[in-house]
Amino acid sequence: MNDFLKDKTVLITGASNGLGAEMARQVAQQGAHTILTARRTEKLADLAADIEMKFDVSSRYFKMDMTDFAEIEQVAEQLGDTKVDVLVNCAGFGIFEEAVTTDFDTVERMFDTNVLGLMRLTQLILPRMIERKSGHIINIASQAGKIATPKSSAYSATKFAVLGYSNALRMEVKPDNINVTTVNPGPIATSFFDIADKSGNYLDNVGFLVLKPEKVAAKIVAIMGKGRREINLPFLMNIISRTYQVMPRVIEFFGKGSFEKK
């Protein structure tokens, strides 16, 4: 249990399914009120109703497309003076395709969703956290932001950007008693791969590394309200990405077979 969450408010983007939805259930189970956003409001409505029925907390939801900055601003305005204790930027998508053939409209949409939308929402939520001198921002990045692999150039670029933004932001808001955590998971068994992996084989190819969303969510929920810098999962991928920082050529040479399983 994380006692910090009792009667706190947690805003989660990309909450309609997968990791976002699982985090929403787990924080509500521990007494937190939830604000849920995604593009598909029908799933949000069902999730919010289920949370309120099971856990006796409030759960609000808003339609918010992370590529639509006007819509992000509108949601922030609707929230008004709502006290957001934890912001979890979870919305995102990727595709596995070589850089030369990746549709550039898709690249732009990926950056808008994974990076610019995240930055804009954070920018709108932060002022009230700074006023209160408290808050926690959790950005879901990826092991792809630590070590890039073939057929993930655009996606990796977005996650490298999220890590850079988060690292700078952490130093800026530390005097205001605001925590910034990045979460860097490997592959998670969610609908993310319905879009990312056209072949449908990737999760099977890297089966022993695949994470369960329930496990990842539990680790994130456990550190809410705490000054944790990063969560890196799974352990083996974290070791590889750390080694890559000092021996990139060695990892690229010996990891070639694994990198090309997409």
For residue range 196-222, what is the model confidence (pLDDT) as tens digits?
A: 556 666 555 556 678 999 999 999 999
DSSP state letters, 7-18: T-EEEEESTTSH
**Mean pLDDT, all residues of the chain:** 91
Q: What is the pLDDT of residue 156?
A: 96
Residues 234, 180: Cα–Cα separation, whole Å = 20
Q: What is the pLDDT of residue 204?
A: 58
Question: What residue spans define the domains of the chain?
Answer: 3-259
244 catalytic per annotation = no
Q: What is the pLDDT of residue 208?
A: 64
pLDDT-derived band at 239, boundaries 50, 70, 90: confident
**Looking at the predicted structure, is the pLDDT value of residue 262 above 60?**
no
CA-wise closest residue to 87 among 209, 169, 191, 143: 169
- 3-class state of residue 223 by DSSP: coil
Q: What is the pTM of this model?
A: 0.91
Q: Give, in order, the Cα–Cα distances in Å from 117 to each of 92, 139, 142.
A: 10, 12, 17
**Looking at the predicted structure, is the pLDDT value of residue 258 above 90?**
no
* Residue 242: CA count within 13 A, CB half-sphere: 9
DSSP state letters, 23-87: HHHHHHHTT-EEEEEES-HHHHHHHHHHHHHHHSS-EEEEE--TT-HHHHHHHHHHHTT---SEE
Under 8 Å between Cβ of 47 and 36: yes
For residue range 167-183, what is the model confidence (pLDDT) as tens digits?
A: 999 999 999 999 999 99
User: Which segment of 104-113, 223-232, 234-243 scores lowest on mean pLDDT?
Assistant: 234-243
For residue range 106-137, what is the model confidence (pLDDT) as tens digits?
A: 999 999 999 999 999 999 999 999 999 999 99
**Looking at the predicted structure, is the pLDDT value of residue 186 above 80?**
yes
Which burial class, exposed, middle or buried, applies to 248 when counting CB atoms under 10 A from its CB (0-12, 13-18, 19+)? exposed
Residue 212 DSSP code: P
Q: Which of 61, 155, 165, 202 is catalytic?
A: 155
- What CATH superfamily classification does 3-259 receive? NAD(P)-binding Rossmann-like Domain (3.40.50.720)
